[in-house]
Amino acid sequence: MLASMNPFQHIDTPENLTQVLALAHAESMPVCTSGSLATYIPALSSANPNALGLALCTDEGQIFQTGQADCRFSMQSISKVFALAYVMAELGEEAVFSRVGKEPTGDPFNSIIRLETSARRKPFNPFINAGAIVISDLMPGTTPADKAAGFQRFVGSLVGRTDVEQDDSVYVSEKASAARNRAIAWFLKELGLISGEVEDTLDTYFRQCATLVDALDLARAGACLALDGVHPLSGKRALPENCAHTVKSLMVTCGLYDGSGEFAVSVGIPAKSGVGGGIMAAVRDRMGIGVYGPALDGHGNSAAGLWALGILSRQLDLRVL
Ligand code: GLN
């Protein structure tokens, strides 16, 4: 559909995409050993640190994959992109951005410090934990399970399947070990930014973070963002255009936390990571990319995944910044 408008058609041939994906996988595998698994959520420490899966979904819905692209893992912070899009689509931009800003922090994802020191007294953006917990509080529904079910249906509409669910062991594990997120949430309550019960809001947040996807899912959802909300498989609109624009802009400035600036310079595409090892990227009008590599760098981003995205960006001329 959009292929005729795509000036990169000559690079995006099936042969070239297959070859470049294989190259990126082979050259990034050794980088797995430079990272380490997230252990602060105990259930995440049982992943295979040498796993690496890559998937691409083109603007026409063609899928390419290599390695453990169909291995399911918890979305963790990638859920913050879906949650922002979901709540914006349901409640509008004003409901969201009256409570959360649009600015990067340069701080780690779980930092609490600016909630107290900033004159604005609201989280800087929806992709740090503080901002994401405010978004979880806004989700439509009654109980945390009900809110999470609505969220998972929405995720399903973007990844292209109807059986999206959470990993209960990851959910239970994070809920039992989330002292810092509890501190953040109570601070938000004091600021008047959480209307529900703090423990319920956190429960919704832990459920959304435990939502299971694979790299193929992330590639399809990334492609939907790349097409400004039109789904590459159905050709139908799955997300309002303004929601797609807003989440992609924030992915550029805040998607990899305090690694966002470095990634914008070295890779140059909108992306969002999670401590489960996933990265979702969206390349305007061309493709979505999904990555799974649970060994993380010091910022909590997939070490081999970042390396692979750098190779894909250079080989396929993906840079949009
Ligand atoms: N659930 C994780 C947390 O709140 C998500 C963090 C992440 O993926 N960066 O700490």
List pLDDT tens digits, range 5-48: 677 877 889 999 999 999 999 999 999 999 999 999 999 999 99
pLDDT category at 257 given cuts 50, 70, 90 is: confident
Q: Which residues are 66's β-sheet partners?
A: 54
Mean pLDDT of 243-252: 97
* Helix, strand, coil % over all residues of the chain, rounded to 5: 50, 10, 40
Ligand 1 geometric centre to CA of 77 (Å): 5
**Closest ligand 1 atom, CA of 210?**
1
Confidence (pLDDT) at 281: 98
> Which residue type occupies 282?
A
In the residue annotation, 86 being an active-site residue is answered as: no
Q: Which two tokens stand for residue 291?
A: 């990555």
In the numeric block, the tokens 């979305």 are attached to 75
Contact 136, 147 (CB under 8 A): yes
* Percent of the chain's residues with pLDDT above 70: 98
- What residue ranges line ligand 1, CB within 6 angstroms? 76-77, 109-110, 129, 174, 181, 209, 274-275, 300
Q: How many CB atoms lie within 10 A of CB 82?
A: 26
pLDDT digits (tens, 9 = 90+) for 84-121: 999 999 999 999 999 999 999 888 898 888 888 887 78
Any idea what DSSP says for residue 212? E
Q: Single out the catalytic residue among 80, 122, 248, 272.
A: 80
pLDDT digits (tens, 9 = 90+) for 177-210: 999 999 999 999 999 999 999 999 999 999 999 9
pLDDT category at 4 given cuts 50, 70, 90 is: low
Given a cut of 70, is residue 1 above it in pLDDT? Answer: no
Residue nearest to atom 4 of ligand 1 (CA): 129
Mean pLDDT of 300-316: 97
Q: Say whether 79-209 and 14-76+212-316 share the same fold.
A: yes
pLDDT digits (tens, 9 = 90+) for 144-178: 999 999 999 999 999 999 999 999 999 999 999 99
Contact 47, 268 (CB under 8 A): no
Q: Which CATH class is domain 79-209?
A: alpha beta
Confidence (pLDDT) at 290: 98
Q: Single out the catalytic residue among 86, 171, 257, 292.
A: 257
Terminal CA-to-CA distance of the chain, rounded, Å?
A: 25
List, as one string, the DSSP characters of 36-91: B---SSGGGGGS-TT--EEEEEETT--EEEEESTT--EE-GGGHHHHHHHHHHHHH
Non-local CB neighbours of 8 within 8 Å, separated by 6+ positions: 286, 316, 317
Non-local CB neighbours of 46 within 8 Å, separated by 6+ positions: none
- Comparing C-alpha atoms, which of 244, 130, 236 is closest to residue 190? 130
Ligand 1 geometric centre to CA of 76 (Å): 5
Q: Is 237 helix (H, G, I), strand (E, B) or coil?
A: strand
Q: Is the pTM of this model over 0.85?
A: yes
Q: Which two tokens stand for residue 60?
A: 């026409």
Task: State how far the Cα of 96 lies from the Cα of 186, in Å rounded to an integer.
Answer: 19
pLDDT category at 67 given cuts 50, 70, 90 is: very high
Supply the angle between the helices 14-28 and 303-316 in degrees, to the nearest 10: 140
- Domain extent listing, the chain: 14-76+212-316, 79-209
Provide the mean pLDDT of the chain. Answer: 95
Looking at domain 14-76+212-316, its CATH architecture is 3-Layer(aba) Sandwich (3.40)
Given a cut of 80, is residue 141 above it in pLDDT? Answer: yes
Ligand 1 geometric centre to CA of 308 (Å): 22
